[in-house]
Structure 1
Amino acid sequence: MSNRITKEKKSRIFMNGRSRAVRIPSEFELEGDEVIIRQEESGLITIEPVKKKMTPRELIEWLRSKAPLGEELPEIEDLPPREVDLDLPE
């Protein structure tokens, strides 16, 4: 993640009910309707959009769209089962 500032704009803090709020100008559009807000010890506040989680169907579609890794899995020797004594001591 780069800490380079690419945009900057002054905004006002206002009261919204019992909370303080900041209007985010439209040129700072964020995806979704949830954000994560962090405040460092220095007072610096960052606002980051919450990444949308994929549904199981979306995950399967995404996985199918990816190219195979290109590596074949090695053959695994199929060993015969070994005997196990299931008798419990009395």
Structure 2
Amino acid sequence: MSDRTIKEKRSRIFMNGRSRAVRIPSDFELEGDEVIIRQEHNGLITIEPVEKKMTPREVIAWLRAQPPLPEEEWLPEIEDLPPRDVDL
């Protein structure tokens, strides 16, 4: 038996303006406000949430909240060699 759990429920399709819409039951909660809808050749339709992209400010705030790296994970010091002469 697979370790993937599949939930199944019936839902209604209804008209919303000029589009058909489907109600997503609350126990199939999706993150965010957008989804990607795909229809395969056999008619199977999949709905998946769109991952929210972090703004640069959110990335910086996230990085600041991370614990410092242990010393063994630091980058090694790089020997700063003098510049070479270049014949222009």
What's the TM-score bracket when you normalise by the shorter of the two chains?
A: 0.7 to 0.9
* TM-score, length of structure 2 as denominator length: 0.76
Residues 2-36 of structure 1, C-alpha deviation per residue, up to 9 Å, x if partnerless? 7530x321012222222221111222222221111
Give the Cα–Cα distance (whole angstroms) in 2 for the partners of residues 60 and 68 of structure 1.
14
Task: Say yes or no: does 1:68 pair with 2:68.
Answer: yes
Give the Cα–Cα distance (whole angstroms) in 2 for the partners of residues 23 and 3 of structure 1.
24
Task: Say yes or no: does 1:59 pair with 2:52.
Answer: no
- Corresponding residue for residue 82 of structure 1: 84
Unaligned stretches of 5+ in structure 2?
none
Higher CA-based Rg: 1
- Corresponding residue for residue 8 of structure 1: 8
Give the Cα–Cα distance (whole angstroms) in 1 for the partners of residues 45 and 21 of structure 2.
13
Give the Cα–Cα distance (whole angstroms) in 2 for the partners of residues 73 and 33 of structure 1.
40
How far 1:67 sits from its partner (Å)? 2.6
How far 1:74 sits from its partner (Å)? 1.1
Task: Find the residue that maps to 2:82 and give its secondary structure.
Answer: coil
* TM-score, length of structure 1 as denominator length: 0.75
Count of matched residue pairs: 84
Unaligned stretches of 5+ in structure 1?
none
Give the Cα–Cα distance (whole angstroms) in 1 for the partners of residues 31 and 20 of structure 2.
22
